[in-house]
Amino acid sequence: MDKIIVEGGYPLSGEVKISGAKNAALPILISSLLVDGSCTYSNVPDLMDIESTKNLLINLGVCMETDGDIVKMDAAGLNNYEAPYELVRKMRASILVLGPLVARLKKARVSLPGGCSIGARPINLHLKGLAALGANVDLVHGYVEASADTLKGAEIYFDTVTVTGTENLMMAAVLAEGTSILRNAAREPEVVALADVLNKMGAKIEGIGTSVLKITGVESLKPVSVSIIPDRIEAGTFMVSAALTGSDIKIINCEPAHLESVILKLKLSGSDITIGDNSIRVKGGDKISSIDIKTMPYPGFPTDMQAQFMVLMSVAKGFSVISETIFENRFIHV
């Protein structure tokens, strides 16, 4: 596609159904590496990052079938512990295979992920945590090489909140001997979704949704059939579009509890919002009032909604301040 032509001036109306959350689907698909059997995932979004993850998992020896938004994955034949650069470079979340590979195959060789346009995303906390669990971790020619005859439970403190770090070490710890404690763990709904899936597989994770996770290791996990949670950022983007255009939109197949900070800010800006069990109706107001935004780890205002709100505030009445605390280059859209 060379260009997109948009003819403005038309109000939006009707319903829109929200897709599965990419940031939940990626770690959940990767968690299948921990299971000697076939798992089924539904409501999987059709995105390039998902395809990249599928290709990486197939390369590791996972058998896979896709039918629409349903993906069946069987890692019984998992036979490769190396994630090469040509596959990892396409998506930073590929580093999430590190923990499961060490836990299942006792070793892993994973390429360091490439750079990120919105800011640095170091994996040092992943590596320190894996070492605390008893793995030997080295950096060799752009690859993370990790091995452990047996992972053992440990207490790990994250100096900064890290979503992928929490997910990686949580997946490693579920098959470790003994008990692990993850402190200052990420609380995002996508992290909660992964923990819930791991528990359905037979893991023993306590404190889900809090900043302290207690994980008691088990010998093995069993296959599951689960549905991916709705994408809160996609839902939030449609909510802002209604506010921007003075439209009336009903957003279905969403989780309002995951969007409390966005809902509050939109109400303060003048939108009328009605909450249902799995729906949100947004009616844009006659005028848009200025509000301040500061991005924070969940349950704070999501960094992934900052750009959309900046567009909204560009046509608001009054002066607004937007502060980005998560990614140092996330104002490149300005």
Q: Where are the alpha helices (DSSP H) in 149-231?
A: 163-173, 189-200
d(CA 279, CA 274): 8
d(CA 198, CA 92): 22
Q: Is 116 a catalytic residue?
A: yes
Residue 229, by phi and psi: left (phi above 0), alpha (psi -120 to 50) or beta? beta
Kindly report whether the peptide bond that precedes residue 302 is cis, defined as omega within 30 degrees of 0.
Answer: no
d(CA 268, CA 282): 13
d(CA 152, CA 130): 10
How does 145-154 read in b/e, with b if 16+ C-beta sit within 10 Å?
bbbbeebbbb
Neighbouring residues of 198: CB distance < 8 A, sequence distance ≥ 6: 31, 34, 170, 171, 174, 205, 221
Would you please indicate which residues are annotated as catalytic (active-site) residues?
A: 116
